[in-house]
Chains A and B, each alone.
Chain A
Amino acid sequence: MDGQARRSIIHLDMDAFFASVEQLDNPALRGRPVIVGGSPRSRGVVSTASYEARRFGVRSAMPTGRALALCPTAVLVTPRIQRYVEISRRVRRVLDDYTDLIEPVSIDEAFLDVTATVATTGRSATAIAREIKERVARETGLTASVGVAPNKLLAKLASDLKKPNGFVVLDEAAAERLLPEMPVRQLWGIGAKTEMSLNRIGVFTIGDLRRMDEGLLARLFGSRAEELALLARGIDHRPVEPRQEVKSIGAETTFADDVRDRERLASALGGFADEVAERLREHRFLARTVTVKVRLADFTSLTRSQTLPQPTDEEDVLQGAAVSLLDRAVPGSHPIRLIGLAVSNFLRPGDLYQANLPF
């Protein structure tokens, strides 16, 4: 469809991972609604809810207090990250038997590129994926949802289609039937804030996005417009990147016209904050450092960084820091060509960090 060699990508996503580990370790919790998260007394939020709890409307990142109000019979369990890391390593050992091209997205999710495995073993990607799913179940006692597709975007959409314990093979033809009706949020890089601004201009589905005027798309997304248009058509060239330790996560855009309007810049930073925060949460990272990058109309480049008092994965904190960094980097109303936001200096699952007094 686009002249590139056809790839076989598998996306594996452990079902309600933290909650399932708790149910595995404690048989009394099986079949019951389980919420893994912080205590409502310390304003904790839900890390993971078991599918029994999700039926009551409990979702990740929801304040635990609200979750317990929705599902009063739920058992609240404090996260045991070290145990989850241990099981995650077991899953990883299974995956290692099939390819070296493994990209862990987070503690409970990974992409595999099995193109070479298919070529050398003669087995189909579907057969390999099914074996991986069965071995993970046997060796950890936990179910995973698996998607098989020609690229990362479609593989992730596929694993998402029949959760939990799903197995979906999505080729281009099937994707073409599904994509136009899917909400834009499903596309890589579109977070809650971007979704809202798209909804405001009447763009709800990926089909709507495809029909958008190219100029308008470019105005809204700058240099990312082209990639987004491809993704909307189910085309995704991003490689599976193994073993590469993520050191920073960022997003940037080059404007079609130079921008002076601070509100427009702040809203661009808001969109990036949204996207970056979502990717932080996917990785289950917290970031300590926020960096804003600016290129002025005269091609002068500037970056400004700030270390946050507390590590975060919240878009509002990132946006606030980014806007004040922009004000420091470029006072007044210089025309700006490119703007970007990145976070770095990560804390990873299981890492400890110092809590602060509320002042």
Chain B
Amino acid sequence: MKLAFKQEQITPVLQTVQRVVSPRTTLPVLTGVLISGKDGKITLSATDHEIAIEAEAPGQVIEEGAVVLPARYLGDIVRRIPGGDVTLETGPQGKSATVRWGRSHYVIHGFSAEEFPTLGRFGQDNMISLNRKELRELVDRTVFSVSHDETRPMLTGALLEMEDGKIRLVATDGVRMALKEGPLDGADGQKKAIIPGRALTELSRTLAELVEENILVGLDGGQFILQAKGIHFRTRTIDGQFPNYRQVIPKDIKTSAILQTSEYLAACERSSVLAQEGGHAIRLDFKGDTLTITANAPEVGNVQEEIAATVGGENMQIAFNVKYLIEGLKNIGADEVDFQMTGPISPAVMKAKGREDLVYVILPLRTV
């Protein structure tokens, strides 16, 4: 195989694909990126058994063929080559390649392409068309709430639901839950699956790098598939029943406070400096037009912050782990937040003021 390409054009594609490669794997060939030249197209592929990615790179196929090169070395070298023309040519056994530019060349040993697992078909039927930014928004506003507790596998992913003109992603770790909803055209029936958190993080980065606004997604036989121009992404989904998230969205709201997101977030972040010494506990006291935040670190000192709030309903005193408040506020994506509470030891919920498409449920701290 012999390929010719521009350094500046292949580098971003290589970086996208390379991220899927797991540095620790029982199958050595999976530490590599499969590079192939066929039908005039250069394709880079990688998989870690859970996620698979295949991306087309601009360039010229001079001689067809394929090789697997170790992702780390290939990536680090290509990234450092000065911009301009580069060629890549496989060695006689098809297990190595020579990368040439200017007056230099590097020989990299890898694996024969036959050793690389067949990635199979990236589904084509029944794909649903989505806006790239919308999907990325769904992922970014929820993925931080995914659980890392491997003893409850179904919570290590987020629930994707597509139904009745809505697409929805829901993530929870048992203490808080993030739900984001968006419009969906042209989907009939209900489809749902649990997508692993790591795949979602990867998906978000990949979506950020794409230029094309129109993408296709599909759920098919235990897999979630994404297609965009020149790129295919696929991940295994998680078997199991996602908890009934609807039942935990509080309805019986007793206190509702409208706050400036940035002001609330800044106060939480400041108080967390001391609160981290006391198990990240902060107390919130909503009364009249004020939210008073207090925290106590016995060895260090204590905190009292007052910020303006428009409090409706009952006065409320409630305590939270400030980390969960901060993460929720950072991801609310609105200037004003509507913070709704149902009682001092019952779930609270954050929404962007006047909107229902983003729901962040958070459980308070209880006193012994």
Contacts and interface: CB of A to CB of B under 8 A. Distances in A.
A352 B363 contact: no
Contact of A284 (B247, B281, B361, B368): B368
Interface of B: 172, 174-175, 177, 243-244, 247-248, 252, 279, 281, 319, 321, 343-347, 361, 363-368
A352 B366 contact: yes
A355 B244 CA distance: 18
Given A355-B363, A359-B243, A349 B177 contact: no
Interface stretch (A35-43, A137-145, A148-156): A35-43
Contacts of B321: 354
B334 to A, nearest CB: 24
Interface of A: 38-39, 41-42, 78-79, 81, 284-286, 309, 311, 347-359
A351 B367 contact: yes
Nearest to B173: A357
A349 B366 CA distance: 11
Contacts, number: 63
Q: Which of B244, B252, B365, B366 has the most CB of A within 10 A?
A: B366
B365 A355 contact: yes
A352 B347 contact: no
Closest 4 CB pairs of A and B: A359-B243, A352-B365, A355-B363, A347-B368
Nearest to A346: B368
A285 B344 CA distance: 20
Given A352-B281, A352-B319, A357 B248 contact: yes
B367 A79 contact: yes
A82 to B, nearest CB: 8
Given A353-B366, A355-B364, 7 more contacts: A41-B343, A42-B345, A81-B368, A354-B365, A357-B363, A358-B248, A359-B248
B368 A285 contact: yes
Contacts of A358: 247-248
B344 A354 contact: no
Contact of B174 (A79, A285, A357): A357
Nearest to B243: A359
Contacts of B247: 358
Contacts of B174: 309, 356-357, 359
A121 B361 CA distance: 62
B343 A357 contact: no
B345 A355 contact: yes
B343 A39 contact: yes
B368 A286 contact: yes
A59 B177 CA distance: 36
A81 B248 contact: no
Nearest to B248: A357
A281 to B, nearest CB: 11
A39 B343 CA distance: 9
Given A352-B281, A354-B321, A357-B248, A42 B368 contact: no
27 contacts: A41-B252, A41-B343, A41-B346, A42-B345, A79-B367, A81-B367, A81-B368, A309-B174, A347-B368, A348-B368, A349-B368, A352-B279, A352-B281, A352-B319, A352-B365, A352-B366, A352-B367, A353-B365, A353-B366, A354-B366, A355-B363, A355-B364, A356-B174, A357-B174, A357-B363, A358-B247, A358-B248
B368 A78 contact: no
Nearest to A81: B367
Contacts of B346: 41-42
Contacts of B177: 357
A352 B365 CA distance: 6
Contacts of A356: 174-175, 363
A358 B347 CA distance: 11
Given A350-B368, A352-B281, A352-B367, A42 B172 contact: no
A131 B247 CA distance: 57
B368 A353 contact: yes
B175 A354 contact: yes
Contact of A357 (B175, B319, B344): B175
A348 B321 CA distance: 18
Contacts of A355: 175, 345, 363-366
A333 B174 CA distance: 36
A359 B243 CA distance: 7
A357 B347 contact: yes
Nearest to B151: A309
B77 to A, nearest CB: 47
Contacts of B365: 352-355
A38 B368 CA distance: 11
Contacts of A353: 365-366, 368
